[in-house]
Amino acid sequence: MNRLYLSALFLLLICLPASAQEYLFVDQDSVMVCPAKNIDVPLQVFDGLGCRTARPIQIDSHKTIIWVKGTVELPAEILESPKAAFAFLSVEGSSRIYVNGYLIGTNGVPARTKAEEDAGQLDAAIFIPRQFLNEGENTLTVLLSGHHSRIALSHTIHRFGIGFDINPQHRLMQSYWPSMLTFGVFIIGGFYFAAVSLFRRRTFENGLMSSVALSAASFFAAGQLIVEVLRGVWAYPYSFHELRLGLIVSLSISVGASLVYHTLCRFGVQRRGILLGLTVLVMLAVVLLIPGFDNKASCAILVATLSAATIALVHFKTQSNDAVLYGGAFLSFSLLNVLAPQQFLDSYYYFALALLLLTLFLLQARLIWSFERNFVESDLQRRQLETVLDELSSENERFLIIDSNGRRERLSLEDIAFISGAGDYVAINLVSGKEILHSTSLSTLEGELPLSFLRVHRSHIVNTVQIRSLDRHTSGTGELSLNSGVVVPVSRRIMPRVRQRLDVNPLQHI
């Protein structure tokens, strides 16, 4: 387990955000924004009414159309490079882009109304002919509209500048692909515990439901990772970006809720539904109150992991080892989230979540294996006990326990020839000719004897093994002759039943 944790920690540390040397961003302090009074040609002077200086992250194109201008410094050695140049723009809006006053292309169709606008891609790169670029300062001017956006996000411009030999999705995947290493952990864990839940239902209830919750958390984590990486494999229109962000937050809530429910089941907490509902309500309140989708996702999972840690540590007295391991795992995840929130979301989240789930996988597997071992041992003991009881029962069927003269003794059924009623007692007549009194009624004794004994008269029960012949009288009654020579009367009422029994095993002398 230590090697597993060290390997995961190594992957977590090496997957820091890589710097993008191919990107040259606009000067963050000299970006100008103006209302788009004229959308046909770029503004030559950004000092009219309504113009202002703003950093790219402060610019909002939600439900409006604006002009944005920035400058990029290009050194001579870059201009001499054979690499192709591109204007790159990661923005929630449609755009028309000019470089040093020259129109180089559009990303969608910016317009004054939603009906006229054609939504562009969120991440776009437009080729710049080399003759349009200057050594030193270069001006990028963009007509930007965002009528297809549904939500006013904290910032609409993510990247704005000039790059060389860049593909937006390729560059994004370079930052996403390390996280894809965790996808296998999520999927394998999800399917394993789903299989445990489906095919090993003999697991006790808390173990079954905690496995279901752990499987759900794994699948939700895999789904969240897929939605996250989607930006790196699909150049989707900017109007889809808000839906993607909402899905990420929703899946983060789902992962957190599943982890909380797993912990509640794992420690056998009562009223789990109420406690889970309260936790989800807190997560939803945090999501509604905190701005920024990244912060929403981060805080939602933080609420869940802190809740799970509290649940585990509350049970320290009763389940000290597991409580410490669970509490430590959840608190470590929470601490990383709090101490480095931006790096956590950009680089560590999926590695930390994979490490947390691996810990829970091992603890849950140990619990299931322990229960299975106890179940097998208990089943073996049960089978051994049943065997002993069967042997005792079989043995008891060959003997009759009687009370005679104040003494209890065991009498072999094979030694009994017939039994007769004698008031409050019964007289057991043996093959040897001996008679033993037993303090019970004939009806009670009839119920204790096996099928080889047959009631032939209200006062007589015969061991059918000892019957030699049956003599029938014209009156309907009859007599049974036994091997010992004793004759036992058969009543007219019982004669048909006696004949039926003896017809199954016919006698030689009948």
Closest CA to 100 of 42, 30, 47, 173: 42
The tokens of 139 are what? Answer: 């001006």
pLDDT in tens, 221-273: 999 999 988 887 888 898 888 898 899 999 999 999 999 999 998 888 888 88
Q: Nearest 5°: phi and psi at 246?
A: -65, -40
Q: Which three-class secondary structure state does DSSP give residue 139?
A: strand
Give me the amino acid identity at 310.
Answer: T
> Which one has a higher pLDDT value, 503 or 83?
83
409 bridge partner residues: 402
Arithmetic mean of pLDDT, 304-321: 84
Indicate the pairing of strand 52-53 with strand 460-463.
unpaired
pLDDT for 396 beyond 60 = no
| CATH code at 23-165 | 2.60.120.260
Q: Are 296 and 251 in contact (CB under 8 A)?
A: no
Query: Rounded to an integer, what distance in angstroms lies between the CA atom of residue 248 and that of residue 182?
Result: 16
Of 45-54, 261-270, 282-291, the one with minimum mean pLDDT is 45-54
Instruction: Please tell me the total number of residues recorded for the chain in this structure.
Output: 510
Arithmetic mean of pLDDT, 436-444: 83
Enter the pTM of the model.
Answer: 0.67
pLDDT for 403 beyond 60 = yes
Arithmetic mean of pLDDT, 147-157: 80
Fold of the domain spanning 401-504 = OB fold (Dihydrolipoamide Acetyltransferase, E2P) (2.40.50)
> Which helix (H) or strand (E) segment is 35 a member of?
strand 32-35
Q: Nearest 5°: phi and psi at 437?
A: -85, 140
Q: What is the DSSP letter of 84?
A: P
pLDDT for 469 beyond 90 = no
Closest CA to 202 of 344, 373, 58, 42: 373
pLDDT of residue 106: 92
pLDDT of residue 305: 92
pLDDT for 3 beyond 60 = no
Q: Nearest 5°: phi and psi at 12?
A: -65, -40
pLDDT in tens, 56-78: 888 888 888 989 998 898 888 88
